[in-house]
Structure 1
Amino acid sequence: MDIEKMLEIESLYSQYASLLTDKQRDIISMYYDEDYSLGEISQILKISRQSVYDSLKRSETALKDYESKLGMIDKMKQIEIFVNSIEKCLCFDKENKENMTLEIDAERVTQLKVILDEIKELI
């Protein structure tokens, strides 16, 4: 199995699993999380291997469609970038919190306002 695809589906699943049917969630979970083969899943669920395959493909397509329409994963990535920018702007040292410095001048305040406005647009 392609690692990139597996990571993509797991990321999509963590965000949009509640939008899938119970059966789709079960099949995705068994295939990607528990590493069952299509044949093993078909035996467990007492359905044909082809039905498992079809359901898996429909589920993957649905997850990708949800992301293309809602864009939640992309928004979370952008927010993470903005939060990192805020930390840089505030001279926040994540590794050594005891020695964190806070130096804010007018230019940094302006930068922070711009970053926060961009975050607000995402929300």
Structure 2
Amino acid sequence: MRIILLFDFYGALLTKKQQLAIEMHHLNDLSLAEIADELGVTRQAVHDILKRAEQVLIEYEEKLKFVEKHQREQQTIQHIYELMHELPKEVQQVPALRLALQELNCLLDYSKEV
């Protein structure tokens, strides 16, 4: 699951062959043999491509920390949303707060897709 998340953030920085291998293996659940047939290489080559791609994704995250930052932001948004829901109902009906709750809810729903 972590590789898929890293791929969502940094996948465009991989080579086309690495992108394809990650998609086929992690997203489409193809075996190394199936990927090897598709790419016209050996299973060992697919294994090497995947391991290198995964290592590159991990290195990008270690340096850039985009996934870590995104997860912290999502936790903060969730916490703010929960705090706002604890406000009295009449306060929640203030137009600006109602709009803010809707916006936060949209952000939280979006994060579930990522």
Q: Say whether the fold is shared (TM-score over 0.5).
A: yes
**Normalized against structure 2, the TM-score is what?**
0.72
Which runs of no fewer than 5 residues in structure 1 stay unpaired? 1-6, 94-98, 103-123
Match of 2:52 in 1: 58
Match of 2:39 in 1: 45
Structure 1 runs (4+) greater than 2 angstroms displaced:
84-93, 99-102
Q: CA RMSD in A?
A: 2.1
Are residues 68 and 100 of structure 1, via their aligned partners in 2, closer, same or farther at CA, if it must alter by over 3 Å? Answer: farther
Answer 1 or 2: higher relative contact order, Cα 8 Å, separation at least 6.
2
State how far apart, in whole Å, the 1-side matches of 2:78 and 2:11 are: 28
State how far apart, in whole Å, the 1-side matches of 2:42 and 2:85 are: 58
Aligned counterpart for 1:32 among listed residues 26, 38, 45: 26
Structure ID, larger Rg: 1
Match of 2:66 in 1: 72
Q: Identity percentage over the alignment?
A: 34
**Normalized against structure 1, the TM-score is what?**
0.67
Does residue 85 (structure 1) correspond to residue 75 (structure 2)? The answer is no
- The alignment of Structure 1 onto Structure 2 pairs a total of residues equal to 92
State how far apart, in whole Å, the 2-side matches of 1:65 and 1:82 are: 25
